[in-house]
Structure 1
Amino acid sequence: TEPTSQTTISDDSKTGRGMSTMPRVVKRKLQKLRPIVEYNKRGKGIGQAHSEMQSYIGVLARSRVPLVDKKWSQIPKDVKEQIWEAVDMAFVVGQGGKKSVLTSAAKKWKDFKSTLTRHYILPYTNDKEKLSHPPETYKFIEKAQWDAFVASRLSKDFESVHSQHAQIREKLEYNHRLSRKGYAGLEDQLEETMPGVEIDRSTLWKRARQDKHGNIPDPKVAEKAKLIDELQKQVSEGKVRVDGSKDVLTMALGPEHPGRLRGVGAGISPRQYFNLPKPQRVSFDDRLKESLRVLLQEETNKMEAK
């Protein structure tokens, strides 16, 4: 039988650093099976293989990248190359490529440091014993790295930066409730359950803030969702006209910040989104054919290179 996701399997015989908690991926690597990652019409990853790949990238980012008070750009290139090679061995990444994998790794590494800071350091600033060793959950962290990281997080410089970020977070409104599937996964899910219906970003924005029962707990968000419903109704009745970036979501929330776009996820610019032709549903068969074409091309290239 296949191991459960709770089993811990070593995934780094070269360096001895880090432990993988995704034996399913490791098992497939040993069998030389590589799931094909799918993408939607905007180039955002979707589907189970993409979700598994993102989890695996998270494991690698936590266990293989040193826990240091540095920026991602300062991390050695060979460490990043190891992450890319591990992912490329486990998945047919396709159009996302190396850049998207390392961008994801950078974010997950940053999030990991934030998690450690918020849950395992700041609550115990007066408990030296608690801070004297890495958390039990992350036993792979070397003590020397942990000690240095804790010291950096308790410094006056970090305290100032943390305070600034906290003030910024307090100003954030309309937080979504999406899981790791993100907007791309949500859009794919809605297109499966609502065939023939155009899923615009106002619908995505609203659905991303609903709980599992379809309710919106935050009164401010609920008020905006109600406005979106009313605007969508007026558009369908011809009473309100949408034109390019002046769409329902912009009418409901106000103008976008330059270069950013709400309701579609990271990496999609206004130009990319609004210059696309009318979305058309791409069937699963078509996506599978395209993914297989990418896989065959990869294998052909490898054979020619030998």
Structure 2
Amino acid sequence: MELEFNEFGQVVGHNSDKFVSIAGAIVREYVPVVIKNWPSVDDSKKIELWNFIQQRFNVNDCHQKMAFQCMGTYWRTFKSRLRRDIKRQVPSAVNRKRAIALLRPKNITSEEAWEKFVEDTLSTDFQEKSSKFSKMRSSQKLLHTMGRKGYSRMAHDLKRKNPNITGLRTTVWTHGHLRKDGNPINEAVAETLMKIKDYAESISDTPVENSIRDDAVARILGPKRRGRVRGLGLGVTPSKIDGNTQSSEKVRDLENKLQTQSVRMEALEEKVEALLKLSQNQNKNVEDMSSRAFTP
């Protein structure tokens, strides 16, 4: 299957939903959750995953890093959901051991490894960490409404509808926090969107409108943690933005130079054409004079 990539190497457009589904299924099937974390997955296993992706999609080696970033995210999400399901069995199931055993993925062949994973999930230390992160998530009020689509695919759709769109990140973030009926998902989002809208209007048609450091999203929400960019999707970093901006500026500069060169060439061609016409007229006049001179 063919895939489309944006300027940051993210999968967008046609078949992007199939990539998400297939990559998620592959990583769930072939990478056991008993592995400590994604960086601990063997390189040989990752190459195996990459081969599966290549068998299903038309991708090049330059897309490998992006694919691993996506699969790492899908794997961590699956692992988190499995831990949550294990914890839910503790107070409710009569036969807790059997209920937990039924949750065991088929790629975990070691009984000992599975029991260790369950024990770690139900340990006091892990429960405390889990509770801490749960409180942090519950305190988040700016909830998005994108589901699996994500910012990158939404940005692609918006640019496809309006190729000349400005303030893209602000527009994407706004759309990503509205319900299908166009209303904000909650009061906190409504208040934030109003502030973003007011600031966006104040910088409309200015250079900072498209700046990740000074646009409306940056000014109202503040910077995200180091190395991340809010509202543009997985894998986008400030350095990528800067590199893309510099590349775009170089392209625009080159286009301007080519345009200037083209105008000069057209002017030169007009001069040459005028000189040729002048030369032809002069030759014709000479011929006419010569003809009259030899007429009896």
Using the size of structure 2 for normalisation, the TM-score is 0.72
Equivalent residues in 2 for 1:149-188 (5 A)? 149-188=117-156
Using the alignment, how far apart are the partners of 1:79 and 1:128 within structure 2? 38
Partner amino acid for 2:118?
Answer: V
Structure whose residues are more often helix by fraction: 2
1:57 aligns with 2:57: no
Using the alignment, how far apart are the partners of 1:211 and 1:137 within structure 2? 34
Change in CA separation of 1:112 and 1:237 when aligned onto 2, cut-off 3 Å = closer
1:122 aligns with 2:87: yes
Partner amino acid for 2:5?
Answer: Y
**Which segment is superposed worse, 58-67 or 43-52?**
43-52
Offset at 1:160? 2.5
Q: Select which of 101, 104, 118 maps to 2:67.
A: 101
Using the alignment, how far apart are the partners of 1:135 and 1:50 within structure 2? 34
Using the alignment, how far apart are the partners of 1:162 and 1:138 within structure 2? 20
Aligned to 2:184: 216
Aligned 8 A contact 1:69 1:149 in 2: no
Partner amino acid for 2:38?
Answer: W
Tell me the secondary structure at the aligned position of residue 62 of structure 1: helix
Offset at 1:263? 1.2
Offset at 1:124? 1.7
Aligned 8 A contact 1:43 1:95 in 2: no
Partner amino acid for 2:27?
Answer: A
Partner amino acid for 2:227?
Answer: G
Tell me the secondary structure at the aligned position of residue 178 of structure 2: coil
Larger Rg: 2
Using the alignment, how far apart are the partners of 2:190 and 2:101 within structure 1? 39
Using the alignment, how far apart are the partners of 1:67 and 1:92 within structure 2? 28
Aligned to 1:22: none
Aligned to 1:25: none
> Aligned-residue CA RMSD in angstroms?
2.9
1:246 aligns with 2:214: yes
Offset at 1:243? 8.0
Change in CA separation of 1:113 and 1:229 when aligned onto 2, cut-off 3 Å = same
Offset at 1:106? 1.6
1:68 aligns with 2:64: no
Change in CA separation of 1:131 and 1:193 when aligned onto 2, cut-off 3 Å = farther
Tell me the secondary structure at the aligned position of residue 185 of structure 2: coil
Partner amino acid for 2:184?
Answer: I
Aligned to 2:275: none
Aligned to 2:288: none
The Cα offsets for residues 262-299 of structure 1, whole Å up to 9 and x where unpaired, read as: 1111221223325534989xxxxxxxxxxxxxxxxxxx
Using the size of structure 1 for normalisation, the TM-score is 0.69
Equivalent residues in 2 for 1:186-265 (5 A)? 186-236=154-204, 242=209, 244=211, 245-265=213-233
Using the alignment, how far apart are the partners of 2:233 and 2:181 within structure 1? 23
Change in CA separation of 1:274 and 1:248 when aligned onto 2, cut-off 3 Å = farther
**Which segment is superposed worse, 173-182 or 107-116?**
173-182
**How many aligned residue pairs are there?**
244
Change in CA separation of 1:136 and 1:124 when aligned onto 2, cut-off 3 Å = closer
**Structure 2: unaligned runs, 5 residues or longer:** 250-296
Using the alignment, how far apart are the partners of 1:265 and 1:178 within structure 2? 12
**Which segment is superposed worse, 76-85 or 184-193?**
76-85
Using the alignment, how far apart are the partners of 1:128 and 1:161 within structure 2? 27
Change in CA separation of 1:131 and 1:265 when aligned onto 2, cut-off 3 Å = farther
Using the alignment, how far apart are the partners of 2:11 and 2:222 within structure 1? 28
